[in-house]
Amino acid sequence: MRQLLFKNLGLKILALCLAIILWFLISGRGVSEITREVPIEYINIPPGYEIVKKDHDTVRVSLFGSEVVLGSIKPEDLKVYVDLKDAQPGRGAYRIKKRNIKVPPALTISNVTPSKVHIFLDRTVRKKVPVNPDISGEPAPGKYISQIIIKPEEVEVEGPESMLKKISAVRTEPVDVSGLDENSINKGQYSIGYTCCKINNGESRCTHHYQGRNKKMKLFGTDGIRGRVNRNPMTPEIVLKVGMAAARVLRKDKGRNLILIGKDTRISGYMIESALTSGIC
């Protein structure tokens, strides 16, 4: 034992002296405290769920230690994790624990602000919705759009369940038909309106076919004007014009005219009623 203690004694003394000198060099600079803004990383999100809302993307971490070490910190040296392994659907508060904060070993965490974050966790679902064209402008004089063909007519949308409940259809990118007097094909992306939702149909592209004709548009069949809502001719623009035309015809008769509007309980009925009333008035 004695031999082991005194073996290479000179080297051991030299190493001890170097360690003492290094310690004095580092500690001689003093200690200090700094605060850094660190992004939050959410880990172990339950399968089939996703984060819909969160009140913080970063936290402020205060660090205490040697000025030499503090001055050499890089952004990648600091990590803040929020573990969602036991998270439940809905809104919840999750505490930021010091053991989930990664800092250089020579530093001490003195404070974390905020100490907890609130997030809303929702189930990821899918559903199919129709595609509606977004048309702007007017065709060439004497022309009109006789047909619009959407391919595909439906797309599959994926996203949080609470958001998908609000989505009844997706729209194409705005297409300007100003001056159109012949068939044309346009391709474009879809527009959902919610960044947390996505379309699972390949490249998310669709094709529009437009046709200009000089003949008058036929609206009324044996059962009146029929069609799929938000598709020609069952669009607010056409219903508005029908109301304007009806008011013009009735205005030719002397006396006071009474117009009775009836509808069923379908949600689209309220839209059609508003457009028709606006045209009449």
Res 102 pLDDT > 90: yes
Confidence of residue 262 (pLDDT cuts 50, 70, 90): confident
Read off the pTM: 0.54
Residue 142 pLDDT > 70: no
Range scoring the smallest mean pLDDT among 55-64, 213-222, 255-264: 213-222
Q: What angle do CA 61, 67, 68 make, to 5 degrees?
A: 115
Euclidean distance between CA atoms 3 and 216, whole angstroms: 113
pLDDT at 226: 78
pLDDT at 213: 47
Q: Could you say which DSSP state residue 28 is in?
A: H
Structure confidence at residue 124 as a pLDDT band (50, 70, 90): very high
pLDDT value, residue 212: 46
Q: How far apart are CA 174 and CA 154, in angstroms?
A: 18
* pLDDT tens per residue, range 166-214: 888 888 777 777 776 666 666 767 777 777 778 776 554 545 454 444 4
pLDDT tens per residue, range 17-46: 777 766 655 554 567 889 999 999 999 999
Q: Which is nearest to 80 in space by CA: 55, 103, 101?
A: 101
Least-confidence region, from 46-55, 104-113, 174-183: 174-183
Average pLDDT, the chain: 80
Q: What is the pLDDT of residue 280?
A: 83
Q: Which residues of 7-42 are buried (b: 16+ CB within 10 A; e: fewer)?
A: eeeeeeeeeeeeeeeeeeeeeeeeeeeeebebebeb
Q: Which of 64-78, 103-117, 171-185, 251-265 has the lowest mean pLDDT?
A: 171-185
